Amino acid sequence: MELTITIRTAALEQLKALSLNEEEGIRIGSSYVGSCSLFADYQLSIDRKQEGDDVYEIEGIRFYVSDKSKAYLHSKLFIDFNPSLGYKLSSPEEVYKYDLTLKRAGGN
């Protein structure tokens, strides 16, 4: 599945203000969580490309998405930012998660 990623203006301003090195980008992650209830968890992180990642470059910012993560995402994604709510990841079909923060993955 090919993704279309749209970055809203407020999120673009925040992402462009980050100090990313030339190997870093923003990872859009999703994973299946099984416990008492079953759901997918969504994350945004500053990370480096991993084997098997698809790379999307939007407005000069690289985004990394694994095939595993794509299984829990719709084909159109939106990234927005609100100072009181953090980053928001959504699609036309649903809001995946509010209050996302960006941290470096694995201590990179």
3-state secondary structure 60-98: CEEEEECHHHHCCCCCEEEEEEECCCEEEEECCCCEEEE
28, 73 contact by CB (below 8 A):
yes
pLDDT of residue 35: 62
Whole-angstrom distance, CA of residue 69 vs CA of residue 64:
10
DSSP 3-state assignment of 15?
Answer: helix
* Average pLDDT per consecutive 10 residues, the chain (108 residues; last block may be shorter): 93 94 94 68 95 95 94 95 96 93 78
Whole-angstrom distance, CA of residue 96 vs CA of residue 105:
20
Q: Which domains does the chain have, with CATH numbers?
A: 4-107 (2.60.300.12)
